[in-house]
Amino acid sequence: MEDDDAELLRALWRRPGGEPVRGPGRKASLTLDAILDAGTAIADDRAAPPLSMRLVADRLGRTPMALYSYVAHKRALMRLMYDRVHAEFPEIDGPDPAARVLAWADALTDLYARHHWLGEVSWARPVLGPHEQAVLEALLVQLTPLDLAPDRVRALVAALFALCRNTGRLIGDARHAAETSDESAWWADQSAAFQDAAPDFAERFPLSAALGAAPRTDPLPAEGTYLERTARAELHSATRLLLAGAALKE
């Protein structure tokens, strides 16, 4: 393991109020939590330039060198921020395990929608922090009453995390797009142009056309843009399907 990785894990798993220091240069008025707060605010702002140590330092009224006593580089900063925002995950409740799993899926999707940059942190090298682990533990608590085989739990967990990550990014993108252009006008323009460009679409892709025209059996949520509402409805449907499939007898 690289020394930087070991140091990062110590920072991730520090006790509340603990303040890891990399070396000389610590300033009493600066803390790792303040650095992470500043970095998160910059990363959340889609209008801001890409996150950098300099931008964080500028926001805090410091020089970049002052930050290096607390965090080694941008990669470490991103990974610490990634785990820290998972602490926003709420307590889950509901009338039954399935309803609580749906609430869990909504909460994780909302987290990814609020912090679009979370998707930039690759799962190929997981962060291994305590707050994301607590999110996983919260899901396992809801799945325990279903008495599923471990292999099915693992598959269900992987599918739900991927589903929430992708849906959350889509919802975040839809919210941002709605801030920059009118959603209804955009779809109207695109539909007219599409019909002109592909008048034989239904003939070439009959199954796609039939699916698009089929009525929905579940009503869409009331809040959000149309794309956000449809994404949320598909999230709920897919979560129910995954739970039903996991419960099937082999």
**Structural domain harbouring 241:** 90-247
Is residue 206 located within the same domain as residue 225?
A: yes
Is residue 160 located within the same domain as residue 242?
A: yes
Is residue 31 located within the same domain as residue 118?
A: no
From 43, 66, 86, give the residue that closes a domain. Answer: 86
DSSP 141-208: HHHGGG---HHHHHHHHHHHHHHHHHHHHHHHHHHHHHHHS-HHHHHHHHHHHHHHH-TTHHHHSHHH
pLDDT at 1: 45
Q: pTM for the full model? A: 0.91
As for how many domains the chain has, the answer is 2
Residue 169, token pair as written in the block:
């990014």
pLDDT at 217: 83
Is residue 155 located within the same domain as residue 237?
A: yes
From 26, 59, 86, give the residue that closes a domain. Answer: 86
The residue ranges of the chain whose pLDDT is under 70 are: 1-3, 16-28, 250
pLDDT at 225: 87
